[in-house]
Structure 1
Amino acid sequence: MRLWIMVAGPYSAGAADAETRRENLREMNRMALAVFERGHVPVIGVNNALPLIEQAGEARFDDLMMPISLALAERCDAVLRIGGASTGADAEVERFRAAGKPVFTDLEELPEPTAESKP
């Protein structure tokens, strides 16, 4: 069985400049690809929120980023927490813990999907 696994890590935490945010997102996407290659479905809240923020305007960042990310956390089966300090990623992880869902901190901790469900 494939799990829907949220990749949670820093995006804007402590990132005053756009390049740091881009690098943080690249790292989450690199890890998401690794999750997919292990046979699971990766989800990144930032990737779902940014297009809406672009449409609504940067002033709506706080109205959209975490509400979308936290709503996705409720739909996923587990979370893989990566990177450094991040209030947002920690809030996502807390949603998983509160729901009794798995919280992984290393790619190697992910369970193997069944053979018939691998991509």
Structure 2
Amino acid sequence: MWIMVAGPYTSGGAEAATRAARLAELNRAALAVFRMGHVPVIGVNMALPVIAAAEGDAFEDVMMPLSLALAERCDAVLRIGGASAGADAELARFAAAGKPVFRSLAEVPPAATPLRPPAPPSPRG
């Protein structure tokens, strides 16, 4: 499955250090999802480079629209962390579509077919 990892990033007007810690938490959860054989995605990770490229105050114009568009294309969501209006909006999309909503890593099932690196090319001879 493609599983969105959703949680707080800027909730409460977080300072830069808090945002960095929250992003690290999202990324750690994504790694755990990957190790279960799924494709993890994080809306913040998709939006931040686009916001940076805008070289201005594009945060409000980019963050949630991109994150919600990404949510539409995922199979499930893993909601982590504390209060977050943005993460709750993402979760609401999944719930409305009848897609799985996981509230802990323990709820995420292992993938039926885990991700594997491509096989090396066969020797020619």
TM-score category by the smaller chain?
A: over 0.9
TM-score (norm 2): 0.89
* Residues 17-36 of structure 1: per-residue CA shift (max 9 Å, x gap): 10000000000000000000
Answer yes or no: is the 8 Å Cα contact 1:66–1:88 preserved in 2: yes
Residue identity matched to 2:82: G
Task: Kindly state the Cα deviation for residue 58 of structure 1 after the two structures are TM-superposed.
Answer: 4.3
Q: Which amino acid in 1 is paired with 2:94? A: F
Equivalent pairs counted in the alignment come to 116
Structure 1 stretches lacking a partner, 5+ long: none
Partners of 1:105 and 1:58 in 2: CA distance: 35
Unaligned runs of 5+ in 2: 117-125
User: Cα RMSD over matched residues?
Assistant: 1.0
Which portions of structure 1, spanning 4 or more consecutive aligned residues, are displaced by more than 2 angstroms?
A: 116-119
Distance in 2 (alpha carbons) for counterparts of 1:83 and 1:117: 26
* Identity among equivalent pairs (%): 66
Q: Amino acid of the residue matched to residue 91 of structure 2?
A: V
The 3 A distance-change label for structure 1 pair 108 and 57 is same
1:75 to 66, 73, 76: 73
Structure 1: how far apart are the matches of 2:14 and 2:24?
16
- Residue of structure 2 in register with 1:117 after alignment: 114
